[in-house]
Structure 1
Amino acid sequence: MPTIYQLKSRFQDLLRPLCRALAARGVTANQVTLAALGFSVLEGAALWLFPGAFLPLILLPLVLFIRMCLNAIDGMLAREHDQKSSLGAILNELGDVLSDAALYLPFAALPFVSAPLVVGLVVLAIIGEMTGVVGVQIGAGRRYDGPFGKSDRAALFGLCGFLMALGLTSPLLYQVLFGAGLALSALTIWNRARAALKELDPA
């Protein structure tokens, strides 16, 4: 199914000159991964400490975009500059789910947002990423199937943060948006599990 992840190769092409410059200066993939996590935790702390405040909310789309850039760069440094490592693989997977939790759970504290929907979205996000990793464990590839992967979650929460910063606080609006995200997250888990099994047995 379509997902923002399908634009990854074009996005990486735009970032490749910066990636080469960082590699030339001795920056490592693991350093970039940890920077993305730290950046996310700082933004998440601001969202949590100042619930509904304009500045953290309006900055969220930018923070999510920078995080997306850093995530792309750490992968390119690992693959294209001979920096692959077991530690890097662990940091990459853990960094993604920890960043998601740090950035998105604070939305549950907002009075006009359904806390169970937000918590459910974060839980299904973690299960979805775990399902993608389990593909490797059973002998298939790491699955990134959609329709609601990491980039799609970032787009949803970035949009919500932007709308909230503009003063749109209708509970119904966010019930619809987060409810749709919850349903798409469940479908993503199903698609990743099915795709991994189909990869092992195409028949």
Structure 2
Amino acid sequence: MDISIYKLKTKFQNLLMPICEKLVKLKVSPNQITIITVLLNIVFAGLIYEFNNYKLIYLTVPVFLFLRMALNALDGMIANKFNQKTKMGVFYNEAGDVVSDTVFFYVFLRVIGISEIHNLLFVFLSILSEYVGVTAMMVDNKRHYEGPMGKSDRAFLISLLAIIYYFIGNQYFDYILILAIVLLIFTIFNRVRSSVKGG
């Protein structure tokens, strides 16, 4: 059951390559992009919390998360394709994703009325899935990104919830979160199994 938007990564990177090359010429480093991305997530989460009564702000969520995915792709592309990997960059990248997801997802799910237990479970399992993906490197020397509820899939889910919330409200959202939680459990299982099998 390894289905994930992450599998579109290569095509997405190809689209971003012209931007990547311009950033390299401007001497923008991967670590700078990573730190800026984390700060943008925290600021945007604050805006969502502060202005959640203005429903129009929810239509900006998919745009922001798409921008975040682009920035996440760009820092990795500059690091890998232009030989700018650093040891600190690994920590920035992994910790930055966890901080960004935790802050933004928790705030967003809270303001749209998701129950606290479902919110916390979703955030916790999201963090655990990334931790498992990193830990897998100690087993088969490979970072694991298996789905069906990987980082890109979670961003898509949150974007979808934001659009639905704007048009029709949060009816059945807790059931959707329960499904997402189940898919996160499958994601963790898939990453562990694939690592143990050396996949």
TM-score by length of 1: 0.92
Does the 8 Å contact 1:131/1:193 carry over to 2?
yes
User: For 2:170 and 2:181, how far apart are their aligned partners in 1?
Assistant: 20
1:40 aligns with 2:41: yes
User: For 1:37 and 1:55, how far apart are their aligned partners in 2?
Assistant: 23
User: For 1:127 and 1:156, how far apart are their aligned partners in 2?
Assistant: 18
Cα offset, 1:108, TM superposition: 4.2
Counterpart of 2:115 in structure 1 is 114
Cα offset, 1:74, TM superposition: 0.4
Secondary structure of 1:148 counterpart: coil
The one-letter code matched in structure 1 to 2:192 is A
Counterpart of 2:157 in structure 1 is 156
Structure 2: gaps spanning 5 or more residues: none
User: For 2:57 and 2:44, how far apart are their aligned partners in 1?
Assistant: 7
Q: Percent identity?
A: 33
Counterpart of 1:4 in structure 2 is 5
Counterpart of 1:192 in structure 2 is 191
Cα offset, 1:107, TM superposition: 3.2
Does the 8 Å contact 1:30/1:91 carry over to 2?
yes
Cα offset, 1:52, TM superposition: 4.6
Cα offset, 1:196, TM superposition: 0.7
Does the 8 Å contact 2:58/2:163 carry over to 1?
yes
1:66 aligns with 2:33: no
User: Aligned in 2, Cα 1:88/1:111: closer, same or farther, shift over 3 Å?
Assistant: closer
TM-score by length of 2: 0.94
Counterpart of 2:83 in structure 1 is 82
Cα offset, 1:55, TM superposition: 3.6
TM-superposition CA deviations, 1:145-176 (whole Å, max 9, x none): 11110000000011111111224232xx2012
Cα offset, 1:10, TM superposition: 0.2
Does the 8 Å contact 2:48/2:107 carry over to 1?
yes
User: For 1:194 and 1:52, how far apart are their aligned partners in 2?
Assistant: 43
How many residues are matched? 198
